[in-house]
Amino acid sequence: MHSVKLNGKTYAAGLWWQVLKGSKRRDQLEHIRNQVAEFKDENFNCYVIRKSQFGLGNLKGKIKSPPSLVCALIDRTQDTWLGRFLLEETGGKLVWWVCAIKDGKPLAEGDAIFESQSEADKHLNKLRVISKWENEILTETVAETEEQFKGLLKSAQRLHSLEEKSIPSSVRLIIILLICAGCYMAYTRYEAHKLAEFNRKQQQINAQNAQNRRKQLENSPEQFFPKVWEKAPDVAHVAALCVPAMQGLPLYNRGWALLSSTCDLASVPAQLKTEWNHKSGARFDALPVVFEEAAILDPVTPTRAFSTHALYVKRERPAKNLLTKEEAVGKLYQLTSAAQAHISVVWSPVKTHKESDVIGSPLVFTSPWLHSKWTLSAIPSAAIIDQSLLTSLGELSGIVIAQITYLPQGWTITGELYVQN
């Protein structure tokens, strides 16, 4: 066994740990003395008791009752761990300490001192084989060891000489009471200091987290304004899905005349809607059939019938940068002119978002993009059939198609447009 120094304090390391028998102090001491007698070649001359275990050691010279290093560490560390540490003896010599704690108890050979690192590593490997370790700690210098144990060492059980004379019960009681009172006062001061230090550090952490959150919000205002166009179907996909289906509709179906058809992409799921008008000779019990689905009569105007057919739409599109307002408006009016159609555009007010749950003054964000609703009307059938208009619309990165409608007097397309702010 050796006396070692840690942070200016002396500890005993290198004890042989065993299970303690007996519930009374006298029986426990008798068991300890029996163990010492059984292993008399080890020349044990001191002991320490910790809960259901005791450790035996052999200190040279006068025993000054240093605390056990294992006892000082064990209550503030994990239940199971294995470690090898470089320590300095009280005489200045460097030694290696191997410690093995299993389920909150030191193993018999789990408190061992060695002169060389090779001997310590050999013992460490032996302990690795006999059990599974959740955590392993290795240090190479005394400074690393002191840093590793910082804040973990506590007041612990001290060594007792096996040759100690018994202390009278009354004196022992007074000593115990004085020790308890002193420990309580020291503990309350320590806990108060620890709580104050914890609160101070927590305030620093909270303040830093609040500052970091404010910076994150300031650097990414777009998170408060959904990118609607990115979840809308690609225009090319809309053209391939809607136009052939609408062109394939007959003008007359079971004597009913086609009044209008709409590819409604705003509804979920997307739908192809048709409206039929009753003509002379058409039967009310033989309504139009669209995609093998019979239409239904309008309960208000029975001379009209409606049908809906669900469409599978892929709501995805390639990522593109938004155009400026000037670029987008120019392209929109140019494609309208090329198609010989009419257009109306209504711009929405610029959206803002106020974030009050931040440190300091509230943050007010302005949307990085502008929004408008537009309607293309009186579109000639030729511009729809050859899909030139839809192709041109697809070149606008922030365009969203809401509806494509056919009427006998022409086609209409409605949608939204997003541009850079």
pLDDT tens-place string over residues 91-150:
889 999 999 999 999 999 999 999 999 999 999 999 999 888 889 999 999 999 999 999
Query: What is residue 171's predicted lDDT score, i.e. its pLDDT?
Result: 79
* Secondary structure (H, E, C), the chain: CEEEEECCEEEEECCEEEECCCCCHHHHHHHHHHHHHHCHHHCCCEEEEECCEEEEECCCCCCCCCEEHHHHHHCCCCCCEEEEEEEEECCCCEEEEEEEEECCEEEEEEEEEECCHHHHHHHHHHHHHHCCCCCEEECCCHHHHHHHCCCCCCCCCECEECCCCCCCHHHHHHHHHHHHHHHHHHHHHHHHHHHHHHHHHHHHHHHHHHHHHHHHHHHCHHHHCCCHHHHCCCHHHHHHHHHHHHHCCCCEECCEEEEEEEEECCCCCEEEEEEEECCCCCCCCCCCEECCEECEECCCCCCEEEEEEEECCCCCCCCCCCCCHHHHHHHHHHHHHHCCCEEEEEECCCCEEEECCCCCCCEEEECCEEEEEEEEEEECHHHHHCCHHHHHHHCCCCEEEEEEEEECCEEEEEEEEEEEC
Tokens coding 370:
């502008």
Tokens coding 376:
């293309």
pLDDT, tens digit (0-9, with 9 covering 90-100), for 34-75 = 999 999 888 898 999 999 999 999 877 665 688 999 999 998
Based on C-alpha coordinates, what's the Rg of the chain? Answer: 43
Residues pairing with 415 in the sheet = 374, 401
pLDDT, tens digit (0-9, with 9 covering 90-100), for 373-385 = 999 999 999 999 9
Residue 167 pLDDT class (50, 70, 90 cuts): low
Query: What is residue 165's predicted lDDT score, i.e. its pLDDT?
Result: 54
pLDDT, tens digit (0-9, with 9 covering 90-100), for 241-287 = 999 999 999 999 999 999 999 999 999 899 999 999 999 999 999 99
Query: What is residue 369's predicted lDDT score, i.e. its pLDDT?
Result: 94
Residues pairing with 412 in the sheet = 405
Query: What is residue 62's predicted lDDT score, i.e. its pLDDT?
Result: 62
311 has pLDDT over 60: yes
Residue 356 pLDDT class (50, 70, 90 cuts): confident
Tokens coding 17:
């740990």
Query: What is residue 372's predicted lDDT score, i.e. its pLDDT?
Result: 97
341 has pLDDT over 90: yes
Residue 319 pLDDT class (50, 70, 90 cuts): confident
For tokens 């809309």, name the residue: 238
Backbone phi and psi for residue 269, each to the nearest 5 degrees, phi listed first: -75, 170
Residue 214 pLDDT class (50, 70, 90 cuts): confident
